[in-house]
Amino acid sequence: MKYILLLFSVFSFAQQTQKVDFIKCNASLNLSNQNKSVNGTIYYDFNVISAIDTIRIDSKNMVFYNVIINGKPAKYKNNDKELLLFEGFKKGKNRLDFTYYATPKQTLYFIGEDENLQIWTQGQGKYTSNWLPSFDDVNEKVIFNLTIAFDSDYQVISNGKLIKNTENKAFKSWHYQMQKPMSSYLVMLAIGKFEKQVLKSKTGIPLEQNLKLGDKNKFESTYKYSKEIFDFFEQEIGVKYPWEIYKQVPVNDFLYAGMENTSATIFSQDFVVDAIGFNDRNYINVNAHELAHQWFGDMITAKSGKDHWLQEGFASYYALLAEKKLFGDDYFNYELLKIAEELKEASKTDTIPILNTKASSLSFYKKGAWALHVLREGVGEKNFQKAVKNYLNKYKFKNVVTDDFLAEIKKVSSYDIDGFKKNWLEKSDFNVSEAISILSKNKFIKEYLDIQKNEKTPFADKKAQFETILKSNAFHPTKQEVIYQLAAISFDEKKELIQLAMQSGDVNIRQAVAETMPKIPLDFKEQYESFLEDNSYKTREIALQNLWAQFPENRTALLEKSKDWQGKNDKNLRIIWLTLALGTKEYEPTKKAELYNEIINYASTSFDSSIRQNALEILIKIKPSDERVLQSLVNATTHHKWQFVKFAKETIREMIKKEEFRKLFKDLLPKLSEKEQNSLKSLLK
């Protein structure tokens, strides 16, 4: 029955978009962190194209006041899912005004307090209607202009250009304006204390970059190559950036890597990095992916989930093309090879093709990207560019299906489009042979695959080849593969090759050495200690743990050297350091409680989920029966970030298999909040 009702709702809205066209939304909003609420006054301009009994606006669990159509009070119904309008509208132009109030359970998130307060949205798909009365149907495109009032000590970011600010006592209003229509799921706001810098593209588009106040020294490393990527896309795509401004802002505990809201991307704080963290994990690919969406997804939008690859496949592929421009052909082909290997493995169980609403994210994103690469190789770069340009210009600010794109390809090439569609979009398997055939045109890939095939070749037979590779200027994955194949070889036999790798100075190659040598020969100890100075927090973590484990007599000196390390955003080095310091009896013996309590604090709600999870993983090993650990773990099950919730629930399920922990969790129940109690009770069942 639920499925039938869903189909009816979708069908009803599809009918509405044929009979009613909403043109513009002007919304004046107020947000309250204290009540976790939003309220506002909205007016919509809309055209009635043909007779219709009921007009629907999606609105989850909202209260409405003063609903007026064309200047007169209107008859309406609020069913907690939609605002239903029955009268007062006429054929032609109409105006709808209303006031509303909501306390959203999702999509609008209130994170932290005071200096760390952030409020942000994530409406991917059809969820904006949880905080803004709007349209879950992506085919209803509207010009959204938002005015947002909030405490003047904060900054407010939304779609479009900031036209003006107005102030009233302690409150300030930010007036944002759009020029072109978009689907409702792309409406956004982000509130926090941000530092801003603005660059300009070659074509004069303002590129606004934001960071938290405490991160203002990380602009260069976080947003590295942003302008280059933007300029490359305008040239490569052949269609000017479709909006007036482009903004980016990171937020705490974001649900995904990033979200391509029209003209204003929100991304995860995890990608805010310093110069060292840049080498471990950086924003470049996500940056390019979300920017590509401004054309593929925001300007033109798939009509339904079946054609979702037109958004994610294109964004993923163009992100790879941007990286190709920045880092070269070898890098580009290596990334495609890694994706091909992932898709090959996944195809054993992932049996739903790209052109299906139930296809996996892996298919929409990565198989979609590979399909486009096959197509580009098949029709030629120039023809592909011409077809994409025609496709974007023809359907600008409209909705599309796969055949719309393929029709443009057919116009520029005699390539077998029907065969392509059948083999790459309608079949579930991944065409490994075609992928490898394309990749093998690249000299590096051919050499890399040949090296992989030699994995079982006796060391003596390939030592000379390995030496040649390590002395060459070969792309680092080839040299890494050499190091991985040396892992089981005794140090005395491979010593000369390891020395060559160490001398390379390449972070990736040196990290491969650190990873593959958990047992450190005494005559290599001094060189191994140089990993503690590498420009990689990951390498430092590996070296710190291995040196601590293998050389107990040097633990105090090692801990002193690393006592101020913090590491990545998840405090990987600090939490590891605290763990090792606790495990070193002779180190700061009077401060053990203080060190332990610091880890406990990192598991609390004062920190992002990545830090909390790191701390909890350690605490569960150190002292799982500590009530504070158990309480933090239960609290994690009520978090808004699903990945963190999954970790917490799976951990509790495993723990309560033992009666002692089941009893501890039961005893904890009276001390928990109602929400925490309900979550724990469901797990205990």
- 203 and 266 both lie in a single domain: yes
Residue that the structure tokens 């180190």 belong to: 587
Give the residue from 186, 210, 245 where a domain finishes: 186
pLDDT tens track for 537-561: 999 999 999 999 999 999 999 999 9
Residue that the structure tokens 């909403």 belong to: 22
Judging by beta carbons within 10 Å of its beta carbon (0-12, 13-18, 19+), is residue 75 exposed, middle or buried? exposed
Residue that the structure tokens 């660059």 belong to: 199
Residues forming a β-bridge with 42: 27, 98
- 313 and 386 both lie in a single domain: yes
Residue 279 belongs to a domain: yes
- 283 and 326 both lie in a single domain: no
Give the residue from 125, 160, 186 where a domain finishes: 186
pLDDT > 90: percent of the chain:
96
- 279 and 350 both lie in a single domain: no
Judging by beta carbons within 10 Å of its beta carbon (0-12, 13-18, 19+), is residue 466 exposed, middle or buried? buried
The answer to whether residues 101 and 46 touch, using CB atoms and an 8 Å cutoff, is: no
- 122 and 3 both lie in a single domain: yes
Residue 14 banded pLDDT, cuts 50, 70, 90 = low
- CA dist 597 and 124 (Å) reads 38
Residue 71 belongs to a domain: yes
Residue 217 belongs to a domain: yes
User: Strands across the sheet with 264-268, in order?
Assistant: 194-200, 206-212, 246-251, 264-268, 258-259
- 54 and 163 both lie in a single domain: yes
DSSP string, 475-512: -HHHHHHHHHHTTTS-HHHHHHHHHHHHHT--HHHHHH
Range of the domain at 328: 301-441
At CB < 8 A and 24+ separation, what contacts does 469-473 make? 470/497, 470/500, 470/501, 470/504, 471/500
- DSSP code of residue 91: S
Mean pLDDT computed over 227-253: 98
Under DSSP, is residue 655 helix (H, G, I), strand (E, B) or coil? helix
Rg of the chain taking only CA atoms, in angstroms? 28
Residue 400 belongs to a domain: yes
Report how many domains make up the chain: 3
- 17 and 110 both lie in a single domain: yes
Beta strands in 49-140 (DSSP E): 55-58, 62-69, 72-73, 76-78, 82-85, 92-102, 108-111, 118-121
Residues forming a β-bridge with 68: 73, 97
Q: Of 367, 340, 344, 345, nearest to 355 (Cα)?
A: 367
User: What is the model's pLDDT at position 126?
Assistant: 84
- CA dist 340 and 367 (Å) reads 8
The half-sphere exposure of 273 on its side-chain side, counting CA atoms within 13 A, is 21
- CA dist 117 and 123 (Å) reads 20
- 15 and 125 both lie in a single domain: yes
Here the tokens at position 520 are 């450190």
The whole-model pTM stands at: 0.95
Residue type, 379: V
Residue 615 belongs to a domain: no
- CA dist 76 and 251 (Å) reads 38
Pairing mode, strands 194-200 and 206-212: antiparallel
- 7 and 62 both lie in a single domain: yes
- CA dist 159 and 45 (Å) reads 19
Q: How would you classify residue 92: left for phi > 0, otherwise alpha for psi between -120 and 50, otherwise beta? A: left
pLDDT tens track for 333-377: 999 999 999 999 999 999 999 999 999 999 999 999 999 999 999
- 361 and 261 both lie in a single domain: no
User: What is the model's pLDDT at position 125?
Assistant: 75
Residue 512 banded pLDDT, cuts 50, 70, 90 = very high
Summary mean pLDDT of the chain = 96
Q: Of 552, 607, 606, 611, nearest to 580 (Cα)?
A: 552
Mean pLDDT computed over 473-496: 96
Which of 476 and 124 is assigned the larger pLDDT? 476
Residue 19 belongs to a domain: yes
- DSSP code of residue 366: I
Instruction: Please list, residue by residue across 221-237, b when 16 or more beta carbons sit within 10 angstroms of its beta carbon and e when fewer do.
Output: bbbbbbeebbbbbbebb
- 376 and 327 both lie in a single domain: yes
CATH code for the domain of 91:
2.60.40.1730
Residues forming a β-bridge with 25: 44, 144
Mean pLDDT computed over 506-515: 97
- CA dist 41 and 60 (Å) reads 16
Spatial neighbors of 670 by CB under 8 A, at least 6 apart, are none
Q: Of 88, 310, 290, nearest to 207 (Cα)?
A: 290
Over 70: is that where the pLDDT of 407 sits? yes
The answer to whether residues 552 and 566 touch, using CB atoms and an 8 Å cutoff, is: no
DSSP string, 502-526: HHT--HHHHHHHHHT-SS--GGGHH
Please name the helix (run of DSSP H) or strand (run of DSSP E) that holds residue 191, with its range, or none. Answer: strand 189-192
CA distances from 198 to 204, 207, 219, 290 (A): 11, 5, 11, 18
- CA dist 482 and 447 (Å) reads 12
CATH code for the domain of 346:
1.10.390.10
CA distances from 405 to 102, 268, 300, 303, 558 (A): 40, 31, 11, 13, 59
Residue 450 belongs to a domain: no
Three-state SS sequence of 32-55? ECCCCEEEEEEEEEEEECCCCCCE
Here the tokens at position 352 are 């739903």
Residue 270 belongs to a domain: yes
Over 90: is that where the pLDDT of 462 sits? yes
- 408 and 280 both lie in a single domain: no
At residue 467's C-alpha, the angle toward residues 464 and 473, to 5°, is 135
Give the residue from 408, 441, 474 where a domain finishes: 441
Over 80: is that where the pLDDT of 4 sits? no
Residues forming a β-bridge with 301: 399
The answer to whether residues 570 and 595 touch, using CB atoms and an 8 Å cutoff, is: no
Residue 150 banded pLDDT, cuts 50, 70, 90 = very high
Residue 9 banded pLDDT, cuts 50, 70, 90 = very low
Over 90: is that where the pLDDT of 72 sits? yes
Q: Of 209, 161, 159, nearest to 182 (Cα)?
A: 159
The half-sphere exposure of 170 on its side-chain side, counting CA atoms within 13 A, is 2
pLDDT tens track for 331-341: 999 999 999 99
Three-state SS sequence of 52-74? CCCEEEECCCEEEEEEEECCEEC
Q: Of 48, 52, 82, nearest to 67 (Cα)?
A: 82
Residue 169 banded pLDDT, cuts 50, 70, 90 = confident
Over 60: is that where the pLDDT of 6 sits? no
